[in-house]
Structures are given as structure tokens and as C-alpha cells.
Amino acid sequence: MNRLKEVEDVISRHKKFIIGSHRSPEADAIGSQLGLSRALRQRGKKTTLVNVDGVPRNLSFLKGADSIKKPGEIDDKKLSGIEVGIVVDCSDLDRLGDAGKRLFEGLPVINIDHHKDNDKFGDINYVQGVAATTEIIAELIEYMGLTIDEPMATALYAGIIADTSSFRNDNVNPDLMERSAELLRRGANARSVIVNLYEREPFIKLKLLGEVLSNAKFNNGIVWTTITPSLLEKVSASGEDTEGIVGTLRTTEGAKVACVFKELSDNRVKVSLRSKEGFDVSRVASKFGGGGHTVAAGCLVKGELEEVRKRVLSEIDKRVNA
């Protein structure tokens, strides 16, 4: 029996589902939950949606986003009688967070994901190495003979945009483009996805970017910058406003590795690494107790900013310019 059939069978045989996604969710996690939930409801099922961190501000435009609750916010009535747990976009169960994971205890679990390192934690595992989990959800909805409507299409398309960085990553292929075209045909609002994902930056964040870029250094294929608490204070930015800066650094022509050193208040430095041209930054990160993917990785290192910066840069230099 094929895996999609197994998933469909479990869905047909039950009535009430809980659908969870990983902490710090982005559009692929939230979009998968919303698309799948709407499809199941179309089939007369009941769904409860959970995320330990809730829905980020920039995804609240997706229809039904307010139905995704943190574990403590879900009322008992919605939690009673749940028969099956569906976990989307998670490589392992811990990604649900402790409070999220507890809601799945004792339930048969369907694991729907696209991470290469998925540890197959489910009773049924539908894991495909595609660009986004929402691609798999679209495939499942189609397989079940259900209709993708406009809200589903927009939610699923948002997952694809996020996980391909707007069709810029090396996971873009003809199947993905055909799936995306189909979602657009079903009414996905492409422009509103882009505006909400990329054009809702707080002005302070742009001011911070200006400061941080003006301090950047570029040497021997490595582009890097530092962010201190006093710099954040100067432009009234918060720690979250630093997100995305390392990606901007990577756009430098000739850069093999981009690196941001963020000084935290507790004598630790958060190091964010990005690469291109195939250099594996996860090896650098793991040397300092962190981890990640080939092109994106990070670590938290104990010590003074200057000293950590020197150690990490010399490690990168050793590998890049070997």
C-alpha cells in the first residue's frame, strides 16, 4: 500500500485530529497546518491546531491563522476526544516543544515532513525530500480528491515561497514550479504573500541594518559584522530585529561565507553563518557546539565578543582558504 493511501485511510477512519508544527514557526509550518486543516474540514473532520509559540505577526494574514493556539490557550472541549495527531514540517517530535509534544502523547501520529534528517517518529511517516512541506500537503489534498480553495492555495504557496527563499534556493525544480502554478490557478494571492513575508519590516530594523552594514568587513572571501547591545540601544532595536542581516551580507560578490556575531548580555556570543559556493558552514558551527545545514548554521559561544570573533573567523579562514 502506498504511503499516501495509508495517510488517507487513517484520515477517513477518524473524526477528530490535532495538527501541530514546530516552535518558532515560519510560513511552511503555519501554511501546512492551515492548508491541511481546511482540507480535513472540507471532508467533515474536526481539527485542533497547536503551536507552542503561536503564529508570528507576519503570518496572521492567512485565513484561519487565529485558530492556531498555544497549548495553554486551547479549551478542554477542543482537546477531548482527539483520535489522531498529525505533525507537519518537524524533523523530530521535540520540535513541537515540551508543551506541544504532551498533547500528542498516546495518540497515533502521522508525520508529514520534508527534512532530510527526519527521524521517522510517526506511526505513519510521509516524508519526501521536496522543497516545502506545503508541497506535500497539496499533493495529499489532491490525492484525497479534495478541492484546493483560495485560502488553502495562499497558505500552501506561502510555505513554498518561504522555504525556497522566493524560488532562489537550489531546491527549485520543474515539479515545484508546476505545483506553484497550480496553486496560483487555485487563487493563491502571490503578491500578498510577498508583502507579508518580506515587506513588513519595522523601520527600526532598516535603521539597524544600515548601522550594521556600515561596520561590515570583507576579507579573503569572508564577510562579517558584529552587533552589540549598545548598537541595538542606539537605534532602539531589539534582538529580534537582527534576523535576516546575515542573509544580506551573503549577497556580497565573492563572499564564500557570511557571518554575524551578536553579543548577548550573558557573556555569550551568538554566531550566525551563511555560505554559498558549496562551503559547509555546519562543520564550523558544530566545532563550536552548534549545528545546522550546509548553507545556514549557527552556534552560541561563551566568551568576550572580540575573542570569540577571532576564534571563529580563524576557523572559517582555515577551511575556506585551505
Residues that bind Mn ion (CB under 5 A): 28, 89, 133, 163
The CB density around residue 57, as the number of other CB atoms within 10 Å, is 10
Residue with smaller CB distance to Mn ion, 24 or 236: 24
Q: How far is the CB of 101 from Mn ion (least distance, A)?
A: 19
CA-to-CA distance for 282 and 273, rounded, in angstroms? 8
User: Nearest distance from residue 171's CB to Mn ion, in Å?
Assistant: 10
Instruction: Choose among 73, 75, 83, 78: nearest CA to 51.
Output: 73
CB closer to Mn ion, 58 vs 133: 133
Q: Which is nearer to Mn ion, 42 or 128 (CB)?
A: 128
Quote the least distance from Cβ 201 to Mn ion, whole Å. 22
CA distance 263 to 270: 6
Do you know the residue count of the chain? 322
Q: How far is the CB of 21 from Mn ion (least distance, A)?
A: 9
C-alpha 120/C-alpha 127 separation (Å) is 8
| Sheet (strand 46-50) strand order | 68-69, 46-50, 16-20, 84-88, 109-113, 124-127
Q: In the complex, what is the shortest distance from the CB of residue 136 to Mn ion, in angstroms, rounded to a whole number? A: 10
Q: Which is nearer to Mn ion, 89 or 263 (CB)?
A: 89
Q: How far is the CB of 304 from Mn ion (least distance, A)?
A: 36
Select 28 or 241, whichever has its Cβ closest to Mn ion.
Answer: 28
Q: Which one, 287 or 293, has the nearer CB to Mn ion?
A: 293
- Min dist. Cβ of residue 293 to Mn ion (A): 12
Instruction: Output the smallest distance, CB 132 to Mn ion, in A.
Output: 5
Q: Does residue 5 contact residue 106 with C-beta atoms inside 8 Å? A: no
Cell of 321: 582558504
If phi > 0 it is left, if psi is from -120 to 50 it is alpha, else beta; for residue 106 that is left
Distance of CA 78 to the CA centre of its chain: 26
Cβ nearer to Mn ion, comparing 89 with 241: 89
Q: What is the separation, in whole angstroms, between the first and last Cα of the chain? A: 50
- Identity of the residue, 13 or 116, whose beta carbon is nearer to Mn ion in the bound complex: 116
Q: What are phi and psi of 68, to 5 degrees?
A: -85, 120
Task: Please name the amino acid found at residue 257.
Answer: V
- Reading the block at residue 302, the C-alpha cell is 561563551
Residue number, nearest CB to Mn ion: 28
Q: Which residue in 67, 36, 59 sits closest to 148, CA to CA? A: 36
